[in-house]
């Protein structure tokens, strides 16, 4: 058993071997892991998403913003309930300047 046996890869699984080789090489610049669980719906546990209905769209919208420069899942970048923008803004700036 390897450390990757507990992971499920979705999407273009043909690229998984290249991804794993990149991890093993130690030359990866960035890896993004997205998740959503019902735990984040417990009141007060997260401030991701402007409201309860938008929480589940925050991870894919952040990923889209990082990759495309804009969100496809929702109309604008994710915000917190009090109007603060997603930390993905800082991540994108760091990646773009790397």
Domain that holds residue 70: 33-97
Choice between 23 and 76, residue whose per-residue pLDDT is larger = 76
CA count, 13 A, side-chain hemisphere, 61: 20
Q: Per-residue DSSP letters for 65-95?
A: HHHHSS-SSSSS--B-TTSPBPTHHHHHHHH
pLDDT digit string (tens) for 22-58? Answer: 888 888 777 788 888 888 888 888 888 888 888 889 9
Residue 4 lies in a domain: no
Residue 27 lies in a domain: no
Residue 62 lies in a domain: yes
Residue 73 lies in a domain: yes
Residue 11 lies in a domain: no
Q: Please choose, from the candidates 36, 35, 92, 42, the residue with its C-alpha nearest in 3D space to the C-alpha of residue 67.
A: 92
The total number of structural domains in the chain stands at 1
Residue 75 lies in a domain: yes
Residue 79 lies in a domain: yes
Residue 52 lies in a domain: yes
- pTM, entire model: 0.70
């Amino acid at each position: 058993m390897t450390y990757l046996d507990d992971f499920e890869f979705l999407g273009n699984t043909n690229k998984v071997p290249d991804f794993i080789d990149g991890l093993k090489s130690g030359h990866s610049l960035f890896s993004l892991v997205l998740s959503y669980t019902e735990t984040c719906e417990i009141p007060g546990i997260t401030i991701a998403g402007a409201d309860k209905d938008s929480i589940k769209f925050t991870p894919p919208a952040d990923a889209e913003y990082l990759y495309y420069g804009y969100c496809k899942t929702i109309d604008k970048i994710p915000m917190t309930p009090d109007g603060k923008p997603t930390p993905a803004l800082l991540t994108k700036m760091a990646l773009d300047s790397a």
